[in-house]
Amino acid sequence: MRIVTAIGMIASVSVATLPASAHSPNAEEVALGSLIDAELAFARMSLEQGIRAAFLAHFAADGIVFEPAPVRLLETWSARPEPADPKSLRLDWQPAQVGVARSSDMGYTTGPFTLTDAAHPDRTRHGVFFSIWQREAGGVWRVALDVGITTPGPFDFVPLGSAPRPRYLGGADVKAQRSAIVARESRSMVIGGGPGSRYADLLAVDARLHRNGMTPVAGRDAIVRQMTSRAARIQWTPIEVRVAKSGDMAVSHGTLREFYRDSGIREGYYAHLWMRDRAGRWRLAYDIALDAK
C-alpha cells in the first residue's frame, strides 16, 4: 500500500500534462477526470481526517491492501482500534499518471507519496503508490487494490515518459480472459534468455517495475536487466484476477517466489496490471512486488 513500511499504498496521460481542449470530452476523458477527482479527494481527506478514515471511506467492500500480505482493508482495518491521534502520521500523495479501461469501469493511479511522523519528524519516508480503482453503481470510484513501495528519496515521474496504455479495441469475453491471465501466471518464468517460458516475452515494451527500496524502472529491456541481476527464475501463484468489462485491462495479485542461481529463494507478494495490445495479446504493464518479510 502507499505506506507499506508503516501501515501498509494506466496510464495514458500525465496529470500535469492533461491537454486543454475546446471540444466536448469523450467517454475516456470524462472517466479520467472523475478518477483524478476521486484520487485528489482521497488524498485531501487523509490530510484533513487522518489516514484510517480516508482509507475506510474510499475502499471498495472487497478492496485489497498489501501489508505486505494482501488483506481486505475494510474487514482488517475496521477490527483495529482507532489511533489516539489520527493525524500523528501525515501521508501526502498526488497522482502523477492515471488511466482507464475502455469500458470506464476500471482504472489506475500512481504517483509519489511522503509519510511523516509528528513524533519523529526526522524519519520521513518516500515512496510510490499504485492503486487500482473500480467504478461502482452511480459512477462512484472505489479502490480495489492498493500497493506501494518505498524509494531512496523523492521520485519524479517525468523521466519515465508516458505510461503504458491498453490498445485493444475488439470484443470481450471476461471469463475467458480471466482464465487466460491465470494460465499465464500459473507457470514458472525464466528471467533471461534460454528455453522455456520467458518473463521478457510477457512484458509490454513500456512496462514498469516497482520493487521496494528502489526507484521504478521503465522499459522492457531495463526491467529484464534489473530482474536478471535479482533472480534466474520467478514463479507466481495467482489468488485473484479482475478484468475490465471491455477486456483490455486486468489486475491480478498473488504470491511469488524468486529463484537465485545460488539456490536461494526469495518469497513475497505481487500485484500485476495487464493490458492487451492491438492484436489482443495480454502484456504485463506493471509488475509490483513486496518481500514477505
Rounded Cα distance between 63 and 229, Å, is 33
Share above pLDDT 90 across residues of the chain, in percent, rounded to a whole number: 77
Determine the pLDDT at residue 14. Answer: 39
Q: Please tell me the class of the 174-291 domain.
A: alpha beta
Bond preceding residue 81 cis, omega within 30 of 0: no
Query: Which 3 state secondary structure label does DSSP give 216?
Result: coil
CB burial of residue 243 (10 Å; 0-12, 13-18, 19+): buried
Determine the pLDDT at residue 270. Answer: 98
Instruction: State whether CATH 3.40.50.1450 applies to domain 13-160.
Output: no
Please check whether residue 141 is in contact with residue 133, taking contact to mean a CB–CB distance below 8 angstroms: yes
Determine the pLDDT at residue 157. Answer: 96
Q: Based on C-alpha coordinates, what's the Rg of the chain?
A: 18
For 78, left (φ over 0), alpha (ψ -120 to 50), or beta? Answer: alpha
Rounded Cα distance between 91 and 59, Å, is 16
Determine the pLDDT at residue 39. Answer: 98
Mean per-residue pLDDT, 145-174:
95
Determine the pLDDT at residue 23. Answer: 65
Mean per-residue pLDDT, 140-169:
95
Domain assignments of the chain as residue spans, ordered by start = 13-160, 174-291
Mean per-residue pLDDT, 89-108:
96
- The model's pLDDT over 5-26, given as tens digits with 9 standing for 90+, comes to 333 333 333 343 344 455 677 8
Strands (E), 212-264: 217-218, 233-243, 249-259
Fold equal for 13-160 and 174-291:
yes
Determine the pLDDT at residue 119. Answer: 85
pLDDT band at residue 1, thresholds of 50, 70 and 90?
Answer: low
The whole model's pTM is what? Answer: 0.90
- The model's pLDDT over 44-93, given as tens digits with 9 standing for 90+, comes to 999 999 999 999 999 999 999 999 999 999 999 999 999 888 889 999 99
Please check whether residue 43 is in contact with residue 93, taking contact to mean a CB–CB distance below 8 angstroms: yes
Mean per-residue pLDDT, 23-41:
91
